[in-house]
Amino acid sequence: MSAPSSVPTVPLDAAAVGEALAAMRGHAPLVQCLTNVVVAQWTANVLLAVGASPSMVDNPEEAGPFAAVADGVLVNLGTPQEATVAAMHGAVSAAAAAGTPWVLDPVGVGGLAWRSRVVVDLLAHASPALVRGNPSEILAFAGGGSGGRGPESVDAAEDALDAGRALAREHGTIVAVSGEVDHLTDGTRLVRVANGHRWLTQVTGGGCALGALMAAFAATTDDPLLAATAATATYTVAAEVAAERAAGPGSFAVALLDSLATLNPQELTEKVVLR
Amino acid sequence: MSAPSSVPTVPLDAAAVGEALAAMRGHAPLVQCLTNVVVAQWTANVLLAVGASPSMVDNPEEAGPFAAVADGVLVNLGTPQEATVAAMHGAVSAAAAAGTPWVLDPVGVGGLAWRSRVVVDLLAHASPALVRGNPSEILAFAGGGSGGRGPESVDAAEDALDAGRALAREHGTIVAVSGEVDHLTDGTRLVRVANGHRWLTQVTGGGCALGALMAAFAATTDDPLLAATAATATYTVAAEVAAERAAGPGSFAVALLDSLATLNPQELTEKVVLR
Amino acid sequence: MSAPSSVPTVPLDAAAVGEALAAMRGHAPLVQCLTNVVVAQWTANVLLAVGASPSMVDNPEEAGPFAAVADGVLVNLGTPQEATVAAMHGAVSAAAAAGTPWVLDPVGVGGLAWRSRVVVDLLAHASPALVRGNPSEILAFAGGGSGGRGPESVDAAEDALDAGRALAREHGTIVAVSGEVDHLTDGTRLVRVANGHRWLTQVTGGGCALGALMAAFAATTDDPLLAATAATATYTVAAEVAAERAAGPGSFAVALLDSLATLNPQELTEKVVLR
């Protein structure tokens, strides 16, 4: 925890972000998504478009064995049921044993008591490589907010930054707070990604799929903060490109899949806005 | 039940429909959808596009507490499972206690015995603000038909009107019968909405999402018949606009989300065809 | 099993494929899909676009009674849960009793022990009319491979042909092995369909929906090998048409639904490449 240890070992510049995309595509990581039924299709299509390999094995019998061979695991709390929560436990436990990075997206945590306990129980297995949420969720997770009433946040990313930093240090993880400007921190370093488009908030799973993308990058990038940054940059730069060809949230979502498939590392490096 | 009580307290004219859209967008109601896994994504995207806030909390532990804070609740019987039916009971019970309107979409009722009993059990908590179905479902619900074999109707809306009226009176609810011309009744008053496009029947959830939209409007409109009318008008007028830019059911669904996002109250008032 | 019995009773030429599409549309078969939550929407939209009637009844109480009245049944092992597996048993048992064709898509079989046992148990009720899988899955099903790690295949269709032939003979079924060139066999006859587009592998459910289409054709075509051929031809020719209008996997999926709706039997006959 001394000062030198907080110096980035991988420079978080625009070139590194482009290289991380190339590396991720080169590996085509197998990402197991234990996610909600609303966004499962969108999440799989985002991963397929960008060049990763999704699998949604989420039953209690198979989730653990599958996580043992997956390259990355996403746990998203959007629509948990008793069986899928049991599957999450199996997957997180197996991922921890295998040293496989897992990403936690604590949708709706804080406002809903049952899933808040589920999150606490999951963290007992191992810390996630990354936690991704909107400001309300991060505040609630860190004990400082209500979590809002629904999947939408009532706070700004800036407001959740201190909570995010504390959370990152407590669990030795990266915390990614979504917003107009995304804030990513490992508790010491901070990266702001200032790309994106408002239509992302009008596509269900707009944020959830980013969690899956983070698992894909975490599987192929040594520095988890760079993984979070490259995933966010890839998704939000592709969103900007897509918005230019769209007439509303419907055509935007379609164009986003096209953009994710065609975005190349050089274009990503040129367009990402890091602060 | 005397004649004067059947006089509309809110005039169901085209201007009122446009005003209801503006009011709904102004409130951005939180709509909890307990719906089927096939249409959950489409339903959420329809609500997001039109300016409402969807949440799909559908587990037995959280559905009740969430309904207590939601602005409207949708219960759709498309793919019920034991756990989601338990969640429906919790949600309907909590909505009733909180005075929150809930919408019932009895998909496949009549033809399938188990879900028909589920519907009867749910009605024991409280009457829904609105019931939405195709003619086969409304006839079966009212005890006069088989419910068809699948989600598609074999009867015309006109044929289910008497059954719908009786159902509306019995349960003190609005009954919306979908068809080429949608028929909406509170048991006394009748509104026909003659907009729409045949491609709506080739998009899965074409009707289910309308149920969610009705919950959004019921949350922000005093007269539930106006809520049903405004939801139907918004959805079917947007469908007409979308069809002009589409080449088939795939591009139609995409354009419909765009249209729902851009449709303004004035355009709605001009284009809705009420009879 | 004598030589003459292997002579096709329906000629598997391009004209027969077009006629099978016309016949399928004429009947608009009701296809019950017990499939995974990731692809349920896509599968329903594919069936609706092409002119069939989907229903996703997949709970243990209703799946059997519904299969007794459906025209065809799809069982897809993508995301099995305890309840949906119970529903599969009910559906397969009822389909067998009613003489209704069912299609098995053993997603991920071989690599995952639990679902591999589920498949064995389902086969105890009756043989499916068709089995559809990628080469890894067919090899694993036949006992000769690992099934891969995820939904994507690591083998070529050609490599799984012998395993597919053996499987077809053992179970008296059609085996369809997907790939750049699809290989379809009843154990004796072999049909290769050489249409398609690589973007199909970047749309989740790209293969799963083809299984549902096979159930639709099996419900309306006497020769199950012709059913498998016509389904594959319809889907992959529509994919080629769609690819001409698309800029990536997102717009391709949308255009594919449009193409499926507009493809006519004559165009299908002209464009299908049978080998």
C34-53: pLDDT as tens digits: 999 999 999 999 999 999 99
- Does B4 score more than 50 pLDDT? no
ipTM of the complex: 0.94
Interchain proximity C251–A256, CB inside 8 Å: no
Q: Which residues of chain C does A30 touch, with a Cβ-Cβ cutoff of 8 Å?
A: 149-150
A109-118, A211-220, B37-46: least confident range: A109-118
From CA C83, how far away is CA B83, in angstroms rounded?
Answer: 10
Reduce the DSSP state of residue A259 to 3 states and report it.
Answer: helix
Please give the mean pLDDT across all residues of chain A: 93
From CA A109, how far away is CA A151, in angstroms rounded?
Answer: 9
For A51, the token pair is 């060049």
Sign of CA dihedral A59, A62, A66, A67: positive
Check: CB of residue A69 under 8 Å from CB of residue A94: no
Q: How far is C4 from chain B (nearest CA, A)?
A: 40
Q: How far is B61 from chain C (nearest CA, A)?
A: 19
Residue written as token pair 């997770």: A141
For C208, the token pair is 């799963």
B132 annotated as a binding-site residue: yes
Reduce the DSSP state of residue B32 to 3 states and report it.
Answer: strand
Domain ranges of chain A: 12-269
Residue B155: the pLDDT is: 74
Number of H helices, E strands in chain C: 11, 8
Give the number of other CB atoms < 10 A from CB of residue B36.
28
Starting at the earlier edge strand, list the strands of the sheet with C72-76.
Answer: C53-55, C30-34, C72-76, C102-105, C130-133, C174-177, C182-185, C190-193
Cα C99 from chain centre: 18
Residue C119: the pLDDT is: 95
**pLDDT, greater one: B119 or A144:** B119
Residue A188: the pLDDT is: 94
For residue C261, give Cα distances in angstroms to B254, C7, C233, C256. Answer: 15, 33, 14, 9
Instruction: Determine the residue among B27, B31, B59 to mutate to test chain A binding: the one whose Cβ has the most chain A Cβ atoms within 10 Å.
Output: B59
Interchain proximity B149–C30, CB inside 8 Å: yes
| pLDDT (mean) for B63-88 | 98
From CA C178, how far away is CA B168, in angstroms rounded?
Answer: 51
Interchain proximity B149–C69, CB inside 8 Å: yes
| pLDDT (mean) for B62-82 | 97
From CA B218, how far away is CA B18, in angstroms rounded?
Answer: 15
C5 closest CA partner among C166, C221, C172: C172
Spell out which chain B residues touch chain C, with contact meaning CB-CB distance below 8 angstroms: 36-39, 41-42, 78-82, 108, 112-115, 149-152, 201-205, 246-251, 253-254
β-sheet bridge partners, residue B73: B32, B102
Closest-CA residue of chain B to A39: B41
Q: What is the pLDDT of residues A192-203, one digit of tens each?
A: 999 999 999 999
Interchain proximity C57–B112, CB inside 8 Å: yes
For residue C56, give Cα distances in angstroms to B96, B151, C21, C137. Answer: 30, 9, 22, 24
Residue A165 carries which DSSP code? Answer: H
Please give the mean pLDDT across all residues of chain C: 93
Q: What is the pLDDT of residues C149-166, one digit of tens each?
A: 655 666 788 889 999 999
For A57-106, give the secondary structure using H, E and C: CCCCCCHHHHHCCCCEEEEECCCCCHHHHHHHHHHHHHHHHHCCCEEEEC
Percent of chain A whose predicted confidence (pLDDT) is above 90: 88
For A161, the token pair is 């930054």
Fold topology of B12-269:
UDP-N-acetylmuramoyl-L-alanine:D-glutamate ligase (3.40.1190)
- Does A5 score more than 50 pLDDT? no
For residue A68, give Cα distances in angstroms to A65, A98, B200, C52. Answer: 5, 6, 43, 40
**3-state percent breakdown (helix, strand, coil) of chain C, nearest 5:** 50, 15, 35
Closest-CA residue of chain C to A41: C38
Global confidence as pTM: 0.95
Q: What is the pLDDT of residues C63-121, one digit of tens each?
A: 999 999 999 999 999 999 999 999 999 999 999 999 999 999 999 998 899 999 999 99
Check: CB of residue A212 under 8 Å from CB of residue A218: no
Number of H helices, E strands in chain B: 11, 8
For residue A44, give Cα distances in angstroms to A41, B79, C37, C250. Answer: 5, 22, 11, 12
| pLDDT (mean) for B249-264 | 98
B70 closest CA partner among B113, B112, B38, B103: B103
From CA C77, how far away is CA C137, in angstroms rounded?
Answer: 11
**pLDDT, greater one: C118 or A8:** C118
- Does B110 score more than 70 pLDDT? yes
For B201, the token pair is 């029947």
Reduce the DSSP state of residue A32 to 3 states and report it.
Answer: strand
